[in-house]
Amino acid sequence: MSVIEIGWGQLLLSLLFILLAAAASLYYQLRMERDLLVGTVRTFLQLALVGYVLQFIFDLEHPLLILLLYLWMLFWAAQAIHSRVDESEVAIMGPTFVSMAVTFTLITSMVTSLVIQVEPWYRPQYFIPLGGMIAGNAMTAISLSLERLLSSLRQQRAEVELILSLGGSWQEASQRLRRDSIKAGMIPSVNAMMTVGLVSLPGMMSGQILAGVDPEQAIRYQILVMLMLVGATALGTLIVVNLILRRCFTRFDQLRL
């Protein structure tokens, strides 16, 4: 099955979809025309740049350079979480980055070496895309979990301090909040597993099919990706929430927030 190539002329033709969105924005006075223009320009520039960068990355053969690149990606993922949660009283950047670096590097390495059995295991064509999927999905999950955790601690401060005043430990005082926070981060991934193939075809599977890969092989890769993402999201969220939760209490079990 051959791949149908898309030329620049055909690509520019797709700008009609943006013009339709801009027309709707003008008609209903949504004032989103500038955002649509900036987003379109950034889409072209950023993805064109990524194409050249990926070509350079795929030529790399040294595992240390590939791991450093992946840690750079995880740093910006942790930075995005820090910006979204916007917490000033508890430091979340350091613990989030360290936990993501250790957990996701380990999981990605296991997938490439044990499951797919890539030789060598750090081959960038596999390691970087799979690691990027893990980081992208976990970034959203961890953000949701931390937002839920910190907001719940503030909203239910009286209940938490009551348990502490009655002799309970910080683990006992925050047990329910921790459980709800971790669950909030995992729900989107679990829901995606429930509806995959019914509501829409996942991006990786669709991309492989469009590229001419045998649909059965594309399905196997997609199943691997779904299971990998759920496991990484659960483990990453669990570790980060526990690390940040401990920082919310002093050594004397007093709530910092």
253: buried, middle or exposed (CB in 10 Å: 19+, 13-18, 0-12)?
middle
Is 253 inside any structural domain? no
45 and 95, same domain (yes or no) = no
The pTM is what? 0.79
Tokens of 27: 């008609």
Residue 49 domain boundaries: 1-59
Judge whether 122 and 110 are in contact, CB under 8 Å.
no
How many domains in the chain? 2
For the segment 79-103, what is each residue's pLDDT rounded down to a tens digit? 989 988 877 788 889 889 999 999 9
Residue type, position 172, single letter: E
184 and 121, same domain (yes or no) = yes
How far is 176 from 160, CA to CA, in rounded Å? 10
57: buried, middle or exposed (CB in 10 Å: 19+, 13-18, 0-12)?
middle
139 and 39, same domain (yes or no) = no
Half-sphere exposure of residue 168: CA atoms within 13 angstroms, side-chain side: 16
76 and 91, same domain (yes or no) = yes
What pLDDT is stored for residue 179 in this prediction? 92
Is 252 inside any structural domain? no
132 and 203, same domain (yes or no) = yes
26 and 69, same domain (yes or no) = no
Residue type, position 2, single letter: S
24 and 69, same domain (yes or no) = no
6 and 66, same domain (yes or no) = no
127 and 146, same domain (yes or no) = yes
37 and 156, same domain (yes or no) = no
Low-confidence ranges of the chain (pLDDT < 70): 1-3, 199-201
* Domain closes at, from 59, 87, 104: 59
How far is 78 from 221, CA to CA, in rounded Å? 27
What pLDDT is stored for residue 207 in this prediction? 75
How far is 239 from 59, CA to CA, in rounded Å? 34
